Amino acid sequence: MRIVLLGAPGSGKGTQAKKLQDDKGVPHISTGDMLRAAVAAGTEFGAKAKAIMDAGELVSDDVMLGIIRERLAEPDAADGFILDGFPRTEQQAQDLEDLLADVGAPLDRAILMNVDFSVLMKRLTGRRTCSKTGKLLNVYYSSQDELDAVTAAGGELVQREDDNEDTISNRLNVYRAQTEPVIGYYEAKGTLAAVEAEGSIDEVYDRLLAAIG
Ligand code: AP5
């Protein structure tokens, strides 16, 4: 399984990719998570990435290609991967195609998580991550039991720094301007499948499995 999950911020790419990883044993590769790890490690690159992410802008295509090339060369990605957050520009889509052509392992599918923009702000401002397990939750959509279980286990519900209204607005603008063209890129290649990504997480997951085939 070599797939890309496309979709606006908050469309549920990370949520669904984690379920797929747990079910199928295929690594979930999130460029956002990798950049946040660099920020947490306090590297010079992390500091530069943090400023870009806090503004809701994109890290340069060259840098992202280097990161993804290294990650896809790791042994766990040899039998497949779920890419989340990459590619995000037409240049990145072309770079990924070239990279995979070099190793003779083309993409199976690019899956678009389709969500009405009106629900994204609520999903993103309500998102919280468990500090212990990394589990994604939401103060508006998760059950009280799920939220309480995190604190009962000694975890904290952490909010991402870029999940404030101003940064989210810019992330959505950047998505429209720079990432939406990637949908057309995969449509033209005949590898695009769209999934209706509203409804419960389990309903969306069933649709995703059907789209993967
Ligand atoms: P990244 O981390 O990739 O953020 P994003 O694309 O903005 O996507 P999100 O993680 O916000 O949303 P998601 O679709 O994963 O939704 P989730 O499942 O969490 O990137 C962050 C930044 O890094 C970028 O802005 C950029 O600066 C940089 N970057 C990363 N990759 C880059 C690249 N390739 N090139 C350049 N720069 C790059 O769900 C959201 C919330 O909704 C959660 O609380 C969840 O519980 C809830 N939820 C999910 N599904 C449902 C449902 N069905 N019903 C109700 N609630 C739901």
**Alpha carbon nearest to ligand 1 atom 53, residue:** 201
> Does the C-beta of 50 come closer than 6 Å to ligand 1?
no
Q: In the prediction, which pLDDT does 40 show?
A: 94
pLDDT in tens, 123-146: 999 999 999 999 999 999 999 999
Q: In the prediction, which pLDDT does 192 show?
A: 98
> Does the C-beta of 85 come closer than 6 Å to ligand 1?
yes
Tell me which residues of the chain have a pLDDT lower than 50. none
Q: In the prediction, which pLDDT does 77 show?
A: 95
> Does the C-beta of 138 come closer than 6 Å to ligand 1?
yes
CA of 139 from ligand 1 middle (Å) equals 16
CA of 84 from ligand 1 middle (Å) equals 8
> Does the C-beta of 167 come closer than 6 Å to ligand 1?
no
CA of 132 from ligand 1 middle (Å) equals 19
Long-range contacts of 122-125 (CB under 8 A, 24+ apart): 123/10, 123/12, 124/9, 124/10, 124/163, 124/168, 125/163, 125/164, 125/165, 125/168
Query: Could you tell me which residues come within 8 angstroms of residue 53 by beta carbon, excluding any fewer than 6 positions away?
Result: 32, 35, 36, 39, 59, 161, 162
Q: In the prediction, which pLDDT does 76 show?
A: 95
> Does the C-beta of 14 come closer than 6 Å to ligand 1?
yes
**Alpha carbon nearest to ligand 1 atom 47, residue:** 123
CA of 9 from ligand 1 middle (Å) equals 4
Active site positions, annotated: 13, 88, 127, 160, 171
Q: Exposure string (b/e) for 107-127, b if CB count within 10 Å is 16 or more?
A: bebbbbbbbeeeebbebbbbb
> Does the C-beta of 129 come closer than 6 Å to ligand 1?
no
Q: In the prediction, which pLDDT does 107 show?
A: 96
Cis peptide before 9 (omega within 30 of 0): no
Q: In the prediction, which pLDDT does 179 show?
A: 98
User: Is residue 193 a contact partner of residue 109, using CB atoms and an 8 Å limit?
Assistant: yes
CA of 28 from ligand 1 middle (Å) equals 13
Q: In the prediction, which pLDDT does 174 show?
A: 98
- Which numbered atom of ligand 1 lies nearest the CA of 5? 14
Q: In the prediction, which pLDDT does 213 show?
A: 85
